């Protein structure tokens, strides 16, 4: 019964102003906005259940928390937990897959539309600079506006989010090609073609990244990859910042190897002030917020609680690692 378990959330502030409905079922539930590495053991002392988004829980923390039975990762990625150590200690660890599929796909297209339609740039020229008031003609544009219809969308990593992005691309009249190391059936896209990674780079007008960060994919988008893309191509990344060699991307943007990029993630978050992409041309960056639609965050918190309920009932779901 949850009313016999003590629980703590270590970094609730990363989820914003979501409602933690149902968490009062626990015998006790403490919620901390942010927790530093040296505060984990103190704050989780005596807890059976620990929820974390970005706070790491490794073997040392587990060893110091003998009552810990369960770690609920408030995200899909679970690299913040040493799942091997958890398995050895009989500690269950779960994640929340799929909670932000629609939100991330939507944001990927928001980045793409920002690059091709230049809405913010032109709105600023009208409202801030009053440029339309002084225009000699009824219409103007400050930079080329591009049409997506008839272009090719290349998706690297055709999982749930990648396939959803492909479906949106098809709705815009784009052709869709994809690459995955282990292809799975695609059901949401009518006209879809599997291609090699090199072929995808060569034929795509937009390359959208939706693959996990592994040693094999770190720096996947590097100088060689950019040189294989069309000079008119755009790069979108709502997956993991480490997929891109940022110094190489800066050189590609400066040198016109590609036409632009829209990123929601960076290799280091928050980025340092010396990050090579700061000030790069034809670049749009948002602060790792593709997952953060209100509905997605509330779904995340709800599913995380349901995961514990299932675990407590002896029917665990969304277990990771081990």
**Which active-site residues does the annotation give?**
240, 269, 288
Residue 52 tokens read as 């974390």
Cross-strand pairs, 29 = 7
Bond prior to 270 in cis (omega within 30° of 0): yes
Do 37 and 15 form a contact (C-beta atoms < 8 A)? no
Cross-strand pairs, 319 = 94
Angle 164-182-211 (CA atoms, 0-180°, nearest 5)? 50
24/7 Cα distance (integer angstroms) = 10
Do 83 and 105 form a contact (C-beta atoms < 8 A)? no
**Residue 265, CA distances (Å) to 159, 162, 210, 246 in order:** 18, 16, 12, 11
Q: Which residue has the tokens 């587990």?
A: 62
């Amino acid at each position: 019964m949850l009313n016999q378990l003590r629980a703590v959330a270590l970094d609730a502030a990363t989820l914003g102003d979501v409602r933690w409905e149902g968490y009062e079922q626990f015998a006790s539930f403490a919620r901390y906005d942010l927790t530093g590495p040296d505060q984990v053991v103190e704050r989780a002392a005596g807890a059976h259940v620990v929820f974390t988004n970005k706070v790491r829980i490794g073997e040392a923390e587990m060893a110091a928390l003998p009552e810990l039975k369960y770690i609920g990762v408030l995200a899909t990625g679970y690299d913040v937990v040493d799942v091997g150590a958890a398995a050895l200690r009989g500690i269950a660890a779960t994640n929340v897959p799929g909670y932000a599929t629609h939100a991330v796909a939507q944001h990927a297209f928001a980045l793409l539309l920002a690059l091709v339609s230049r809405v913010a740039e032109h709105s600023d020229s009208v409202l801030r600079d009053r440029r339309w008031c002084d225009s000699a003609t009824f219409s103007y544009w400050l930079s080329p506006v591009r049409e997506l219809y008839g272009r090719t969308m290349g998706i690297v990593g055709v999982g749930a989010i990648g396939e959803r992005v492909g479906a949106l691309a098809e709705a815009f009249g784009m052709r869709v090609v994809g690459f995955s190391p282990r292809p799975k059936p695609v059901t949401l896209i009518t006209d879809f073609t599997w291609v090699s990674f090199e072929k995808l780079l060569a034929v795509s007008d937009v390359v959208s990244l939706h693959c996990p960060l592994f040693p094999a994919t770190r720096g996947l988008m590097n100088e060689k990859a950019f040189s294989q893309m069309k000079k008119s191509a755009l790069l979108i990344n709502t997956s993991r910042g480490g997929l891109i060699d940022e110094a190489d991307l800066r050189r590609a943007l400066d040198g016109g190897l590609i036409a632009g990029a829209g990123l929601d993630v960076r290799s280091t978050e928050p980025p340092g002030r010396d990050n090579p992409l700061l000030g790069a041309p034809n670049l749009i960056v948002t602060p790792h917020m593709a997952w953060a639609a209100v509905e997605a965050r509330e779904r995340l918190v709800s599913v995380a609680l349901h995961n514990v309920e299932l675990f407590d009932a002896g029917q665990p779901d969304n277990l990771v690692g081990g």
